[in-house]
Chain A
């Protein structure tokens, strides 16, 4: 759709000039990537259905109602979709100004969760019935920030000290805070997303390579000095060695997937969810999808993520400015790469880590911030 035709076109929802008040839209806008929007909404819909299917019995057993997880997931979905639609209408360039305040806010939440949460695991800020996960917010904020910094620094990036070091320092602080929760999975994802963004932002390959080499000892320390993580890694090598204890979860996930076959057992007919697979509605929901909807259903999910990657790539390359390029690429990479990691874990290609499957796993913060990311992506797409 060319820019010139816009003024003569009949106005529709999302068209430029539809709401001219306060200049929220500029003439450069068009409808945006409806294809991406449909795919995401379809995934969210599958997610709600599958969360209900996977959680109903556990919910009934623990809370005497089958609908607890379903209702929560629907509420989060509504909020997330609303946030997505709002962000789709806010010019992403305006977000660039907010990137640093958002980083400060995100940073303070990460510190807050470590300070005020009792107990061993401090991943969630709890407000009564509502749990908020600051690290999920940190993902989007960090991508925004890195895109902003990369955009502003330009040629300075080639200089390690002036260009790269400040970025690495900020990222490092975030990673340490998240690692301290402890949430290694999210920290690893964030580290890899930042790495990818630095690569896409044009940082020298030699710098990146030395960065990767430098982080290997850190990762080794992080993994092998915590008992349960080491066990998980060893389990990954041979999950069948102790299928009743440590390898239990991954073995159950494989049994669920494998017993699904080509067409699956049918929606709702999963047996793994009957207390064989622990928390089947969160990180391992993909195995329930594979069991109930079969190879067909599981392949559809992978296909939908391929579409997201393709549309994201399209938007990233067509974005009107460098900030848009990097922001779109970062968000797309975050969503699709999480899906890659999650499915790799469920299919026993990677050791077990707590990584959610975007749009599908139960969990409010993950869903809302993934949808927010898509909202930004949509806005970029409207300016291509």
Chain B
């Protein structure tokens, strides 16, 4: 074979093999394309729930009550770490982990290993400053409550996986998360997320913000005063609600004991429930104005009508009704002033079962108020046909009915608001992260319960209660206060009787009486020692009320200012 033929044949073999490879390439890239693409997609894409930054919860003035901030989680790619010993030695003090534990993680054959999750940003910055190869960071979201325990039971709590567990966090979970639609995530060979130009970076998208009606300052005032009373009276549970009398917006809502959303101890999960909307209690005397409103609206009594109060004990159908102090004849105003159970029981008889039931329903008792918080109960209000012989008389002074604090304060705001019942509001609006309003919640009138005139009359009576009656300790210098005390014996399910030792002391009222701005309810459940609503709940009301008036900048009434005051007391406060 001549040399040239040999050269040509060798090279032709090479060219021939290249052509064969071209056919092989055609088979891989064209014929099997779909099969391989599917397999490649499978390893580099994964579908997951969109993990948007959780929306912020604001108070009514835009102050943040719950925010999500980015924290860093540290991971390592062991194959990139050239010197595990040195790396471990330097990282150990920063991560608060033992050198041995870190080394063990760094020397694994995995391509990815968590070192520590959700660490402090400052520490993350320090580690970044060391410039270790193969030590990387991922930012994750963590819920933080800037005001700690403030309004914690209203705001609620978001769990470790950013799911709402209670309060607004729970009720508006979908809104705060914004989207639950699935997104496609791109991965690299280590399973880490690839931020490509076409995929949105997570922190740029945030859930909707929720603007609550809570006023951070009023909430703070309420909590400070309530905590003081809670500690002094050693009550089992204390609740305070401040509501805008006109609109039904809740300006403050607090219970003790409560929790701090930032605390890491599991103890906080005990207090997730919000007693103000889910605990039922018998209102006692605070229910009397409701009955009185019905009586006046139906023109069944006049203010001057007299009731014989039996010197303190009245046997009705064989069961005694007792008064705190024995009286003989009292006008209807005095019955309320002195909070006479006997007087109310007798007045209630004039109203009749059906009317009383109807008015109680109209004031919102025995039904959901519609507040946008989880766990609300409707309370207990039996139908008249299920009532016993004595039910009417008992109900007239607030026994035999189960109410929630939110129902009670809404009913009183109805009196303050000229007889129109408003739905209690906790959320003002839903906003985008940019501040653009998505949805605005308007104050929602439920129904007109009593006439304006009746409401005004009742307000005057309630002012008398504070001026001369049981609520004297609720007086606030410079403001006319309308209010009612309540001291309810607790029903003991074990003995089937009303307890002589366990009481619920409460005070509810609104001010200024001429043009009510806020309604305030204070409840102290099972206080030790003094248990009269007028002596322990009314002072809390007075202190909170005064400070709220100052905060809202509502000028005192000058007439009110100098009435019943010794002339040497000088006025110190905002200009008149």
Contact = CB atoms under 8 A, between A and B. Distances in A.
Interface of A: 57, 61-62, 196, 199-202, 205, 254-262, 271-272, 274-277, 290, 294-295, 298-299, 302, 305-306, 309-310, 312-313, 316-317, 322, 325, 329, 332-333, 336-337, 339-340, 343-344, 347, 349
Nearest to A316: B7
B11 A309 contact: yes
B28 A347 contact: yes
A204 to B, nearest CB: 10
A262 B36 contact: no
Contacts of A337: 14
A276 B43 contact: yes
Interface of B: 1, 3-4, 6-8, 10-12, 14-15, 17-19, 21-22, 24-26, 28-30, 32-33, 35-37, 39-41, 43-44, 80, 133, 186-190, 194
B29 A196 contact: no
A329 B10 contact: yes
Contacts of B187: 274
A262 B18 contact: no
A343 B10 contact: no
A313 to B, nearest CB: 4
Contacts of B19: 306
A309 B15 contact: yes
Contacts of A276: 43-44, 188-189
B37 A332 contact: no
Contact of A258 (B3, B4, B8, B40): B40
A343 B21 contact: yes
Contacts of A256: 40
8 contacts: A255-B43, A257-B29, A260-B33, A261-B37, A276-B43, A276-B188, A295-B26, A343-B18
A254 B36 contact: yes
B35 A258 contact: yes
Contacts of A333: 10-11, 14
A309 B19 CA distance: 12
B25 A255 contact: no
Please classify the interface of chain B as helix (H, G, I), strand (E, B), loop, or mixed, using the class held by over half of its residues: helix
Contact of A347 (B24, B133, B190): B24
Contacts of B12: 313
B29 A298 contact: yes
Contact of A260 (B10, B29, B80): B29
B190 to A, nearest CB: 5
A158 to B, nearest CB: 13
Contacts of A57: 188
A258 B190 contact: no
A298 B15 contact: no
B7 A200 contact: yes
Please classify the interface of chain A as helix (H, G, I), strand (E, B), loop, or mixed, using the class held by over half of its residues: helix
Given A298-B25, A299-B22, A349-B21, A255 B39 contact: yes
A238 to B, nearest CB: 16
A302 B12 CA distance: 14
Q: A258, A312, A336, A343: which has the most chain B beta carbons within 10 Å?
A: A258
A258 B25 contact: no
A302 B14 CA distance: 11
Q: What are the nearest 8 A-B pairs in CB distance? A: A258-B36, A275-B189, A274-B188, A259-B40, A313-B11, A295-B29, A276-B189, A259-B37
A276 B11 CA distance: 36
A306 B28 contact: no
Contacts of A305: 18
Nearest to A260: B29
A104 B133 CA distance: 43
A200 B21 contact: no
B76 to A, nearest CB: 13
A339 B3 CA distance: 24
Given A259-B40, A349-B24, 12 more contacts: A255-B43, A258-B28, A258-B36, A271-B44, A276-B43, A276-B188, A277-B189, A302-B18, A313-B8, A317-B7, A329-B7, A339-B18
A235 B75 CA distance: 33
Given A302-B18, A312-B11, A313-B8, A262 B30 contact: yes
Nearest to B191: A275
Contacts of B186: 271
Q: A259, A275, A312: which has the most chain B beta carbons within 10 Å?
A: A259
Contacts of B22: 299, 302
Given A261-B33, A274-B194, A276-B44, A340 B10 contact: no
A254 B28 contact: yes
B17 A340 contact: yes
Nearest to B33: A261
B112 to A, nearest CB: 10
B15 A306 contact: yes
Contacts of B18: 302, 305-306, 309, 336, 339-340, 343
Nearest to B42: A255
A373 B6 CA distance: 21
A306 B21 CA distance: 11
Q: A61, A271, A322: which has the most chain B beta carbons within 10 Å?
A: A271
A349 B40 CA distance: 20
Contact of A261 (B1, B14, B29, B133): B29
Contacts of B1: 202, 205
Contact of B32 (A258, A313, A322): A258
